[in-house]
A and B are shown apart, each in its own frame.
Chain A
Amino acid sequence: MPKLPLVRPGPNGSVTDVPTPPIGVNATRERDADDIEAVPLRHPWRWVIAAVLLVVFVGVALSLWHNENVNHPTISKFIFDRRILDGVVLTLILTIVSMVISTVLAVLLAVMRLSHNPVLNSLSWLYIWAFRGTPLLIQIVFWGYLGLLYSQITLGIPYTDFSLFSIDTNTLIPAFTAGLLALTLNQAAYSAEIVRAGMLSVDEGQYEAAYSVGMSPTFTLFKVVLPQAMRVIVPPMGNETISMLKNTSLLSVIAVLEVYTVATQISSQNLRQVELLVVVSCWYLFLTSVLSIPQFYLERHYGRGNARVLPPTPLARVWKVLRPASRPGTAPIAPGAKTNGPHTNGPHTNGPHTHGPHTNREDAP
């Protein structure tokens, strides 16, 4: 512990109340005699580890680049190939549509699971048990080959001969629909638990407050509980979306023409398996990167009201770097030491404007 006193004791031992301007707001203020001038903490090991890692990465990259088994022109030829691009589009459609539908289903399942109605509660439990308990791959094959189980799908009155219409299963559920169905129904089981966790994170007092102003349980759910649960739900759902994007590749077993299926079809003709896997991996990496952008903004949106200061958007961060004047000062004393010295027990005003120099608007460009 440094022996330096942060605040000098006054003549009678009490702490002098030196009116210091707020630190961190204006870095260009004049130095005060009481300010500490210290050598910043150094981090030499960070540089060492970074250097070692750099050498390793460059080595691996070079060995890949000079590997004679990888034909680079093939990669660049196929990365924007028409068939690959069509596959990418289908992969994206599958991901987005199945995530949207499964999320709606998940909210329904979570509400049922938390309901006091024993029938709905058990139904939800049974659904989650079945769809989470069997491998996704098997579910995909099952929906893909549903025609083997039921060759005809008939709408009519059970146990009578009356039927409104009857349709061939493979016509009603082509490979794309079967794939979408498999991904959606499986995902709903997982997402339901995430939504349930989010709902459980909302304080019981919120329900009571909502009920006390006459809100019905349904209104409370949509206006009070879910908006707050979203803060907890969004990060794992972002995870699930990225997982879903990659899980679409499993649909190759029922020949849905998403990007991985297309790539294997091409490589079975030209025998360039590695190159096409690189092409596909590049696309997956690109898509997962793009998908994390909306997550950031969703988290920011649902975080409002919970944090006094919202995190700056990437744009605001760039702006901050470009305008050094608005950067906080580097004085080694924590901000928050306001005009009355850090040890004085002045009256704490509790207005919204007294929580330090930060406001939501500071970071806005």
Chain B
Amino acid sequence: MTDFVPAENAAASATPTASAKLPLLSARKVRKSFGGVEVLKGISLEVATGQVMCLLGPSGSGKSTFLRCINHLERIDGGRISVDGELIGYAARHGRIFEMNRREVARQRGGIGMVFQRFNLFPHMTALENITAAPIGVRGLAKPTALARGRELLDRVGLADLAGSYPAQLSGGQQQRVAIARALAMDPTLLLFDEPTSALDPELVGDVLDVMRGLAADGMTMVVVTHEIGFARGAADEVVFMDAGVVMESGPPAEVLDNPQNSRTKAFLDSVM
């Protein structure tokens, strides 16, 4: 394996500003079309380790699609995305770039957690089994270790006493918190949230947002697609406003939310606030 060039090195050598502060997530001119309709028209953005980025924008603006591209649930048509210096979906070998096979993609996804709008818990497993299935089955963690860690995570999201409950027995807010614990169980370097509170009753949103604020405070790197302007204002380091597959405006929440420069950002914020 002497001629094998690890992906990190390849990506690092491609960027001259290496060593010092590599962004954890870097997207460059990401393009994606569905059946001839271009939904992402060259998205470029960076998220540094420990930062929280909120993606705002009207529905259909490509926020969710972009998020799904980050963990390769969608294959990008142009540009490049790298997480922790590793290209997503591609590996560099012998100085050339190869498309990853499904096993390599799965390994890569293990380091990027994702929380879905519709929770997507496994209905045939208890809360604890939902959390431990991947660490045991994918990472090969010993069962007692995984169970202990699973209980710890459930405690962290405030559901320690519901380990044995099936998703159908939990409220939406509880399900979403289990889903967050499930994503955390793989020790991801990056957590993606796809409108995590959109399917929740208003009085349950707070519990989920509290957990997310806690994660942000603990230094977790997060990309959050959300309509919760309050959360973006309080927890985000950077807010990105997208519309029609393009980044319209980005910056600290105080700038983008309180003093938007772009007319479309203004119109959107007026309609949601």
Contacts and interface: CB of A to CB of B under 8 A. Distances in A.
B124 interface: yes
Interface string A139-173: 00000000000000000000000000000000000
Could you say which interface size class chain B belongs to?
A: 35 or more
Interface string B103-132: 100111111111010101111111000000
A27 interface: no
A306 B123 contact: yes
Interface stretch (A74-82, A98-106, A204-212, A276-284): A204-212
A44 interface: no
A304 B109 contact: no
Interface string B146-174: 00000000000000001001111111111
A212 B125 contact: no
A29 interface: no
**Residue among B118, B122, B174 with max Cβ neighbours from chain A (10 Å):** B122
Contact of B168 (A206, A306, A351): A306
A165 to B, nearest CB: 38
A215 B124 contact: no
Nearest to B136: A223
Contacts of A216: 102-103, 106, 138
B168 A223 contact: no
A205 B120 contact: yes
Contacts of B112: 212
Contact of A350 (B113, B114, B123, B173): B173
Interface string B86-105: 00000000000000001100
Contact of B109 (A212, A228, A355): A212
A337 B71 CA distance: 46
A352 B109 contact: no
Interface in B46-81: 71, 73
Contact of B73 (A208, A227, A351): A208
A347 B103 CA distance: 47
Q: Which of B103, B121, B124 is the most central at the interface, judged by chain A CB atoms within 10 Å of its CB?
A: B124
B211 interface: no
Contacts of A205: 116, 118, 120
Given A208-B116, A212-B73, A308-B169, A302 B137 contact: no
Nearest to B203: A347
A214 B116 contact: no
A13 interface: no
B196 to A, nearest CB: 13
Nearest to B121: A209
B183 A350 contact: no
A212 B112 CA distance: 7
A13 B116 CA distance: 45
Given A350-B174, A352-B162, A215 B120 contact: no
Interface in A160-218: 203, 205-206, 208-217
Nearest to A352: B169
Contacts of B139: 214
A305 interface: yes
B204 interface: yes
Interface of A: 203, 205-206, 208-217, 219, 223-224, 227-228, 302, 304-308, 347-348, 350-352, 355
Interface of B: 71, 73, 102-103, 106-114, 116, 118, 120-126, 133-134, 137-139, 162, 165-174, 179, 182-183, 185-186, 201, 203-204
20 contacts: A205-B116, A205-B118, A209-B114, A209-B179, A210-B122, A211-B109, A212-B73, A213-B186, A214-B107, A214-B186, A215-B138, A216-B103, A217-B102, A223-B133, A227-B124, A228-B122, A304-B166, A305-B123, A348-B201, A350-B172
State the 9 A-B residue pairs at the shortest beta-carbon distance, nearest first: A214-B110, A350-B171, A209-B120, A352-B169, A213-B134, A212-B114, A205-B120, A305-B166, A216-B106
